[in-house]
Structures are given as C-alpha cells and as structure tokens.
Amino acid sequence: MRIIKGSKIAIAAATLALVSACAPQAQDEVASYADDRAAIEDLMARYLFAIDFHDWDAYVATFAEDGTIEFASGTYTGREEIREAVTRFAEGIGNFYQTEDGNPAKLRHVILQSTVRVEGERAWATSLWVEMANDGPDDSLKMGTYGVYEDQLVKIDGEWFLSYRNVLNDFIDGRSPGPGNPVRDMDAAAEAYLASLTE
C-alpha cells in the first residue's frame, strides 16, 4: 500500500512539474498573440481615421514602404503611388456622396469584425467593413457601401504595417468576396506561407 501510495504521489508531482513547465510558454504565446492582435487592430483603426479625415501622411504610414493596395480603380505599390490613388479617391467622392446643398458628404468607415492570424513576423486579417455618409434626407446618416478587407501584414522593427490590402466591394461586379468563406482563403494563404518555410 505504501509503495502504491508513494507512486501516486510521485506521478502527481511529476505531472504538476510538467504542467508548470509548459504553462509559462503557453501564457507567453497567448500574451504575444494578444499584443500583436491589439497592435494590428490599432493599425486598422488608424487607417480608417486617416482616410475619413483626409490625413494622407497617417494613411500611407499604415503601409510598409513597399506595401500594395488593390481596389476597384487598380493596384498601387509604394507609399507615393498609394498617396496619389487615395487622394484622387477623396477628390472624386463628392460626385457620389453629397449633402442636400450639393457639398461633398462626410464619409465614415467602420470595421464590423475581423479575424486575425499571426505567424511570427507575418500576419493575415479578414475584415467586414461598411461605409456611410451624411447624404440621406436632411443630411442624415445613410448606409452606403460595404465589403471585405483582405490583408497581409508584416512586422518591421517591432511595428506592424500593411504589406497588402485588397479592398473588396460587394456591390461592384468582379470585386465582391466569395462565393466561399474568405476566412478560409486567409487560412490557406497562411498555411502556404508556413509550408514555404520548410521547403
């Protein structure tokens, strides 16, 4: 009986030691993901504030130096090309969104939900976005357009940047997401990247 009892104590002690040894690593991984996700979500918010308030310095700063954005008007790479493209977009927006006195309406972009996958210094995100403006009756708020952001991100010197953003629009032929779940596409891209590291 004493031998069995002693064995049970030894097994319990060994199990506790193993769990204790693994716990800090698991906690570190969770904390690291939480920190990275918080930084990525902050980057996304900065992108939206920058575009809505026409702060083009802040807007291009969300992209890596060689970052790329793709939307309905084309694909643009590098901060200067991106700045020119988004400036043209802002200048033409008054043709589509106007208050009752004919002035350009104020746009506000919102991200409804995002899924984020981090793999080391690389990350992928898929987000549902909506765009609204005060171009309704009596300049009231009216929901405008919506779509999906497909993002690739890179961590440079401890800071996250967009390396690629694909702005998909559910209301434009050839620019809508799907028909499958875009999150599956994100996971497939991340898995392909991980596989490339072992080749």
What single letter denotes the amino acid at residue 81? E
Q: Which two tokens stand for residue 140?
A: 């009231």
Phi-psi region at 104: left, alpha or beta (left = phi > 0; alpha = psi -120 to 50): beta
- Residue ranges of alpha helices (H) inside the chain are 2-52, 56-60, 79-92, 182-197
- Distance, in Å, from the CA atom of 129 to the CA atom of 45, rounded to the nearest integer, reads 12
- Distance, in Å, from the CA atom of 39 to the CA atom of 97, rounded to the nearest integer, reads 32
Q: What is the pLDDT of residues 103-133, one digit of tens each?
A: 888 888 999 999 999 999 999 999 999 998 8
Q: What is the pLDDT of residues 133-169, one digit of tens each?
A: 876 788 776 778 899 999 999 999 999 999 999 999 9
Sequence spans of domains, the chain: 36-197
Q: Which fold has domain 36-197?
A: Nuclear Transport Factor 2; Chain: A, (3.10.450)
Task: Give 100 or 187, the one with higher predicted confidence.
Answer: 187
Distance, CA of 15 to chain centre: 40
Three-state secondary structure call for residue 80: helix
